[in-house]
Structures are given as C-alpha cells and as structure tokens.
Structure 1
Amino acid sequence: MSEEQVKRMHDGKGFIAALDQSGGSTPKALKNYGIGEERYQSEEEMFDMIHQKRTRII
C-alpha cells in the first residue's frame, strides 16, 4: 500500500460507502484508491480488486 493510498483512507470522506459492488461506482472507487482502469482487464478483475479493498477494511 502506498503512502497516497493510506492518506486517502485516513483523510478521505465517504470511502467505505463507495465500496459497494455496482459496476457504475466501482471504477471510481478504485480510482480514488489509486487504482486506474488500466490495472484490470475485465469486470471480474475489477470486482476482485474492490473485494480485496473491502476485505482489508474488514
């Protein structure tokens, strides 16, 4: 996890609420976490990444 990601988790507003699993908000939630769309090739990979973020928080 980069310093930027830690700062976003610590200082950001509404991050956890954005960790749902709708296809519409997930790319933006990942982008806000520092993971651009170039890092995944399919919806399945995108949903796997958002699930990893939820798991870390839990």
Structure 2
Amino acid sequence: MDGKRFVRVHRSYIVSLDFVQSIVPLESGDARAVLSTGGEVPVSRRYRDALKSTC
C-alpha cells in the first residue's frame, strides 16, 4: 500500500484518501469519515488530526 494515499484513522481501520469525502465531528471528540462509496468509518481522536491535515 502506498503510504501517501492510505492513512490510519482508527485502531481497526485504514482508508484511502481518494475515497474520503468529508469528516464529521462527533460530540465525544471522535469523528466519522464519510466515503464516496456511501460508507462511514469511525475516526478516533488519536488519528483525527492526522487525517484532517492530509485531506
């Protein structure tokens, strides 16, 4: 996998930056990544800032 196109967003999830449409913050401090495929992936607080800086 190309480390420039994929990013870890959660302990159990890695996403391709090509498919991330938006990041929706949650009240808990976590977030959800909305994908162009219609799916949603949890984004933990630990990885949220890294995802925002790459999108």
Q: Sort the TM-score into its range (normalised by shorter chain).
A: 0.3 to 0.5
* Structure ID, larger Rg: 1
Higher strand fraction (1 or 2): 2
TM-score normalized with structure 1 length:
0.36
TM-score normalized with structure 2 length:
0.37
Higher helix fraction (1 or 2): 1
